Amino acid sequence: MFLDLALLASVAVTPAFSGEFVGYHFDQTTPNRWERFDLVLTNDTDQPSEIKACPDQAQMIMRDHQRSKIGAFAVKFDDGNWSYSCETRSVEAGQSVTLKLFFRARYEPGPQRDITVQTSGGDFVIKGGKQRVALNR
């Protein structure tokens, strides 16, 4: 069994994308207030790669005693239209794309929230208090 685990670890796939949290926007001009978290994803491979992101794979972790989670309601890449379903983008080697995650505003909106997002290019965490950091885990 130990050999099987060692073999699995040796063939583990390195994620194709790295990420950096670059922005936050809060829109309270409409009755449907929302928050947007922007994550720049860079293709770290030497060939074009596709990345897929879905709203139901992004979670905002609230700072209440229950650590409640709220799912994103929409995503978009760069300046495209937001989508309520999955979006896929092809990214050239060494190039970046901005993934924008939209959440309904709850309690006290702000960039201090923790966000987790699973994409086809890796899993990322935006930690509140360290807004410039996204970790590929």
Domain of residue 104, CATH code: 2.60.40
Range of the domain at 30: 15-136
Q: Is 50 inside any structural domain?
A: yes
Q: In this predicted structure, which of 26-40, 47-61, 120-134 has the lowest mean pLDDT?
A: 120-134
Q: Is 116 inside any structural domain?
A: yes
Domain count, the chain: 1
Average pLDDT, the chain: 80
**What pLDDT shows up at residue 9?**
41
Cα(32)–Cα(73) distance, rounded to whole angstroms? 12
Q: Is 1 inside any structural domain?
A: no
CB hemisphere CA count around 25 (13 angstroms): 8
Q: What angle do CA 104, 76, 49 make, to 5 degrees?
A: 140
Q: What angle do CA 22, 39, 72 make, to 5 degrees?
A: 125
Tell me how crowded residue 13 is: count the other CB atoms within 10 A of its CB.
6
How does pLDDT run across 68-118, given as a tens digit for each residue? 788 899 999 999 999 999 999 999 999 999 999 998 877 667 677 788 888
Is residue 37 classed as helix, strand or coil in its secondary structure? strand
Q: Is 9 inside any structural domain?
A: no
Residue written as token pair 């074009």: 48
Q: Is 2 inside any structural domain?
A: no
More confident residue, 57 or 134: 57
Is the pLDDT at 65 greater than 50, yes or no?
yes
